[in-house]
A and B are shown apart, each in its own frame.
Chain A
Amino acid sequence: AQKVTQTQTSISVVEKTTVTMDCVYETRDSSYFLFWYKQTASGEIVFLIRQDSYKKENATVGHYSLNFQKPKSSIGLIITATQIEDSAVYFCAMREGEGSALGRLHFGAGTQLIVIP
């Protein structure tokens, strides 16, 4: 069963505007962790931001922030003041529960972001 769903295949935005990428997830765990990663054109994948399920405050790092709506099992990524170099594929991910999972992540299908000058 798919655990992390990103329905937006591709989004195009004009530089310096704000974009939101959607992600919904499924889990039976009472405590879980959600992440966003970025994959550049070179193939490099880097961690961007993380949300712990027990925290009510939305995480923010630089010009990345999250819109965490726990009742809807939703974790949106918001990028403000987009730049050309933000063009990449963005992956939403969820960490499996504790114990034997060794902290492995399940990823969504990714959303391609294209920032236009």
Chain B
Amino acid sequence: ETAVFQTPNYHVTQVGNEVSFNCKQTLGHDTMYWYKQDSKKLLKIMFSYNNKQLIVNETVPRRFSPQSSDKAHLNLRIKSVEPEDSAVYLCASSYRLGGRYTGQLYFGEGSKLTVL
């Protein structure tokens, strides 16, 4: 069943505009992630976040920023999009078992961004 919800599923915009993608999970997980999947299907971690810690992949440009109001929500903001930002952005969540991350991710359906 779908338990990680992303909106919008599609967005077309022009270079220089600001874009935001929203993500909500109803699984009660404490950690959320944003992954970028490019046209070759390569999946790359962008951000890892729980209510205490944010880890940013060093390759992520500064125009990208995560925003969270609580542990069930992790949004992604792109301040000024570039053509290379065209991709599918996937939100995921995970949980710990006995204090350790299981590595089992639950993904949303993805948000496809097209930058003209």
Starting from the known contacts A37-B105, A42-B109, A93-B103, 7 additional A-B residue pairs (CB-CB under 8 Å) come to A50-B102, A91-B43, A103-B31, A103-B102, A105-B45, A107-B42, A109-B40
**Bound complex: CA A89 to CA B42 (Å):** 11
Distance in Å: Cβ of B57 to nearest Cβ of chain A: 9
Interface size class of B (residues with CB under 8 A): 20 to 34
Within 8 A of A (CB), among B26-69: 31, 33, 40-45, 48-50, 53, 55
User: A103-B48, A105-B45 given as contacts; is B110 within 8 A of A98 (CB)?
Assistant: no
**Bound complex: CA A97 to CA B31 (Å):** 16
List B residues at the A interface (Cβ < 8 Å). Answer: 31, 33, 40-45, 48-50, 53, 55, 88, 90, 94, 96, 100-107, 109-110
SS class of chain A's interface: helix, strand, loop or mixed? Answer: strand
Distance in Å: Cβ of B91 to nearest Cβ of chain A: 11
Cβ–Cβ < 8 Å partners of B41 in chain A: 39, 89, 109-110
Cβ–Cβ < 8 Å partners of B109 in chain A: 42-44
In the A-B complex, list the 10 residue pairs whose CB atoms are closest, starting with the nearest: A103-B101, A95-B103, A102-B48, A107-B43, A45-B107, A104-B48, A33-B103, A104-B45, A47-B104, A110-B41
Q: Are A47 and B101 in contact (CB under 8 A)?
A: no
Q: Are B43 and A35 in contact (CB under 8 A)?
A: no
Q: Are B49 and A35 in contact (CB under 8 A)?
A: no
Q: Are A101 and B48 in contact (CB under 8 A)?
A: yes
Q: Are B104 and A100 in contact (CB under 8 A)?
A: no
Q: Are B103 and A103 in contact (CB under 8 A)?
A: yes
Contact with B along A87-117 (1 / 0, CB 8 A): 0010101010010111111110110000000
Q: Are A50 and B88 in contact (CB under 8 A)?
A: no
